[in-house]
Structure 1
């Protein structure tokens, strides 16, 4: 049995020039010859990502093992995924133009909705690290990570070189978030935050590092949310003022209801072929009791106290929970696979154990 491991895009392959050997000088792209080895059936040479190719003695066909799914693929299957140079060029233009137009439109909309009505100043910075028990910083980490992951998968579709796809797509999230940080820097209401910037770089860097090391995201950042309601009317009113009344506003702004997770896929670390690829273990972080950035106190422009609840304790929460990585569940439907990949940015509702205020607490289902 002959085994060669190749590292290019597993959804794209390209015809290679005929030769009598494998070029191993470029570890990112190994090419198979059209006439190499015999029994290859005259098929053109191809490049792959995450594939191993097997030739069994006496068998005229080559079987390719997709290491991400553990399934063998036939040449007929691979032919359907062939990308010509023209197709690669066209897809690259589509994704490049789509990024420029889509991001520009989003930034114009964000400026109109968020910044336009606030007074502008010269560029300045401020230190918001002490605020919100750093839940907002973890939010920046998560946002940069998922934006980078989404962008990288779009660039994978173009069939470009693996490292280009990782770096261009991988650092997109940090770039997108940093532009927003610059807008904050010119707003009198906020300012450039070095803590936010560092979290953005760390989030994108986490994706890039895993791709370069493992060609996979073994540790995915995920998000979950549950809307908070209180028996005390004053706390509900304060939440409406701070975080908005609508579900979408609460989803984005209410740090009391947000949990961020590092979901660790166990199979690659256990190296057990029988262990389900979709089963993960997740470590979560959140906080509650927060009705102001650093304290539960609010004053009007005249200095009069409008809200004061020092009796409400602000505290951190740590969680441990099983998780399901939907992106590891492969189906024959491209639409369903896309939906599963999108949903893998969110924590699957499962039981959890919480540690907070020095005590453990169990949750039957954690959203």
Structure 2
């Protein structure tokens, strides 16, 4: 399920980012409602979302048998890495959806209602596709993760009118993909989205926003990360009795990060670049605490 989510998230996120951010490069957000901009955003999102769903149906589901709508419980399949990935995708799509409506001069209320819910709506549609596929199934835990990511964005806007906490992503190549490239990815790009062993998801929190009296730099964040390792299959997946000796364990990380959105610049070009790149956790010295009861220091965790 989550591999498809990653594929569709990448397609939609890049497309929407290109739409909103390219316009922001040349034009500032409108102070009042700009009907032409709003209409352009709505039409573009509709075309991009529809195209993504059609592409997903053609490229992903076409080779699998259809079934009656059914649900599955896959909460423990990949040590919740796929669920964290769902939350991350929903959060980032909420951010993009709200940003492009902000560029159009849409009210804050409507940004949250119609923009920040974009990720949840799109990912729920993909989940329904899964429900009619014999290979997969509708997952309530996926829906819960989508809700969590969307709620994180909307909740902060309602509480603080800013994103003090952000979900971010990083990746470092693992040795497991070469043992099962069909499932975990053959190329480096595929592995970035398929190999859960190499992925880390971060909750990056701005120190200045929480401790203003301490005078931390506005760009300095503290990041808590989660990853897992030793996974060649899902928990309940059987592949001809292969990969029986898996050393699966969880990893928790503590590191600093850079909030690129808080770097002071008057350049709309740089603001655009920073906004797009801010989805990635900046590699910095990191301490790992894992379920093997070991503490590991990483000079630069990717």
Using structure 1 for the length normalisation, give the TM-score: 0.72
**3-state DSSP of counterpart to 1:263:** strand
Mark the CA change 1:364 to 1:83 in structure 2 (over 3 Å): closer, same or farther. closer
Q: Which residue of 2 aligns with 1:341?
A: 275
**3-state DSSP of counterpart to 2:71:** coil
Tell me, in whole angstroms, the C-alpha distance in 1 between the residues paired with 2:263 and 2:299.
Answer: 24
Structure 2 contact 31–105 (Cα < 8 Å) conserved: no
Tell me, in whole angstroms, the C-alpha distance in 1 between the residues paired with 2:179 and 2:248.
Answer: 18
Structure 2 contact 65–134 (Cα < 8 Å) conserved: yes
Mark the CA change 1:296 to 1:187 in structure 2 (over 3 Å): closer, same or farther. closer
CA deviations over 1:111-165 (Å, ceiling 9, x no partner): 1111111111111111101111010000001000001111110111011111111
CA deviations over 1:91-116 (Å, ceiling 9, x no partner): 11011111101111111111111111
- Give the C-alpha shift of residue 362 in structure 1: 0.3
Correspondence for 1:223 among 159, 169, 175: 169
- Give the C-alpha shift of residue 270 in structure 1: 0.6
Structure 1 contact 144–204 (Cα < 8 Å) conserved: yes
**Structure 2 unaligned residues grouped into runs of 5+:** 1-26
Structure 1 contact 259–285 (Cα < 8 Å) conserved: yes
With a CA cutoff of 8 Å and minimum separation of 6, indicate the structure with the bigger relative contact order. 2
Residue 58 of structure 2 is aligned to residue 123 of structure 1: no
Range with greater deviation from structure 2 (331-340 or 179-188): 331-340
1:1-367 equivalences in 2 (<5 Å): 83=30, 88-229=34-175, 236-238=178-180, 240-272=181-213, 274-294=215-235, 297-299=238-240, 305=241, 307-310=242-245, 312-356=246-290, 357-367=292-302
**3-state DSSP of counterpart to 1:133:** coil
Structure 2 contact 116–153 (Cα < 8 Å) conserved: yes
Mark the CA change 1:341 to 1:84 in structure 2 (over 3 Å): closer, same or farther. closer
- Give the C-alpha shift of residue 273 in structure 1: 7.3
More helix by share: 2
Structure 1 contact 296–309 (Cα < 8 Å) conserved: no
Q: Which residue of 2 aligns with 1:42?
A: none
Mark the CA change 1:215 to 1:108 in structure 2 (over 3 Å): closer, same or farther. same
Tell me, in whole angstroms, the C-alpha distance in 2 between the residues paired with 1:186 and 1:363.
Answer: 43
Structure 2 contact 232–243 (Cα < 8 Å) conserved: no
Tell me, in whole angstroms, the C-alpha distance in 1 between the residues paired with 2:84 and 2:232.
Answer: 18
**Structure of larger gyration radius:** 1
**3-state DSSP of counterpart to 1:337:** helix
- Give the C-alpha shift of residue 274 in structure 1: 3.4
Question: How many pairs align?
Answer: 275
More strand by share: 1
Tell me, in whole angstroms, the C-alpha distance in 2 between the residues paired with 1:180 and 1:248.
Answer: 22
Tell me, in whole angstroms, the C-alpha distance in 2 between the residues paired with 1:141 and 1:287.
Answer: 16
Structure 1 contact 141–203 (Cα < 8 Å) conserved: yes
